[in-house]
Structure 1
Amino acid sequence: MSQVTSAHGNADGSGLPQVPSIPLADDRALAAVGDQSIGTLVKDATTHLSTLVRAEVELAKSEVTREIKKGVKGSVFFIVALVVLLYSSFFLFFALAEMLADFGLLRSVAFGAVFIAMLLFATLFALLGWRKVRTIRAPERTINSVKDTAAALTQRGERKP
């Protein structure tokens, strides 16, 4: 059986992994067609179908892996932006405290008020997050479907007397 690669891969194995393929012309097909039995034809068809399914699974796996890698690389930029935003929020809160101090509050009271406001917001968002996380449940429909399928397959294989 021959091996093929995607347009991005090389035949020497670099790039995407090699995927088994069904040959376009079988050497046995070039021989006398009348010499093949039905059993041989069924065996060849089964082999080709199995190879086709494995090739499709391998292709899907390589495509999903490639897309996940793209997503991870893209999310790194979002994480860096979030870190910069979080560090820059320090200056926002510092400026807010200075603004309160300019309105006549003592500097220590202004900074304390900003600190307490930040704690209140953090507590509020932590409670909202906790409420959402508590509602997470197991995928019951999927579990029941898998159990039903397993039960149907085991019943099908059993012989009744």
Structure 2
Amino acid sequence: MSHIAPADPAHGDVPSPDDPTIGRLVADATRDLSSLIHNEIALAKSELKVSFKNGGTGAGLFAGAAFLVILAVVMLSVAFAYFLTMTGLHPAWCFLIVFAVYVLIAALLAFVGVKKVKKVRAPERAIHQAQEAKGLLKRS
């Protein structure tokens, strides 16, 4: 069985003044941990900066693409209206027909959207389970 004897100055077991104390070790560990956390935060900020830049560029490109699609729909609408003039209708009537088609499509989309929104319900089972858990916790 090993036994650790206390420091005995007669045998040269006195700690040297260069040996770190517990307080110094704790202070060093705290400083190193603080430095590590600071560096991790700086790294995360750097990575997020790059991600936000790429995300912003991507969002801008999507916005540009959406704008061009809107322009394409307008041009297609004009082309469709002029195509209808080939039937002998006056151009004003042709443009009104295209307008009416868009209004009908919008009304259909709105109707389907309203039906879908009316189907939205609260998560009844999850609410019920949360109330049961709350009741059980109150009993404890």
Q: TM-score, normalised by structure 2?
A: 0.59
2:96 aligned partner: 112
Structure 1 or 2: larger helix share?
2
Q: TM-score, normalised by structure 1?
A: 0.53
2:86 aligned partner: 102
Q: Summarize the Cα distance change of 1:95–1:53 in structure 2 as closer, same or farther, 3 Å threshold.
A: same
Unaligned stretches of 5+ in structure 2? 1-16, 123-140
Name which of 65, 70, 73 aligns with 1:89: 73
Are positions 1:48 and 2:46 aligned together? no
* Percent identical residues: 34
1:56-75 matches, cutoff 5 A = 56-75=40-59
Q: Summarize the Cα distance change of 1:126–1:56 in structure 2 as closer, same or farther, 3 Å threshold.
A: farther
Whole-angstrom distance in 2 between the partners of 1:45 and 1:126: 63
Q: Summarize the Cα distance change of 1:53–1:116 in structure 2 as closer, same or farther, 3 Å threshold.
A: same
1:94-116 deviation line (CA, Å, top 9, x unaligned): 11111122124333222111012
Whole-angstrom distance in 2 between the partners of 1:41 and 1:80: 58
Q: Give the letter aligned to residue 74 of structure 2.
A: F
Whole-angstrom distance in 1 between the partners of 2:109 and 2:35: 52
**How far did residue 123 of structure 1 move?**
4.4
Whole-angstrom distance in 1 between the partners of 2:69 and 2:75: 10
Bigger-Rg structure (1/2): 2
Q: Give the letter aligned to residue 99 of structure 1.
A: F
Output the aligned Cα RMSD: 3.1
Equivalent residues, number = 105
Unaligned stretches of 5+ in structure 1? 1-31, 138-161
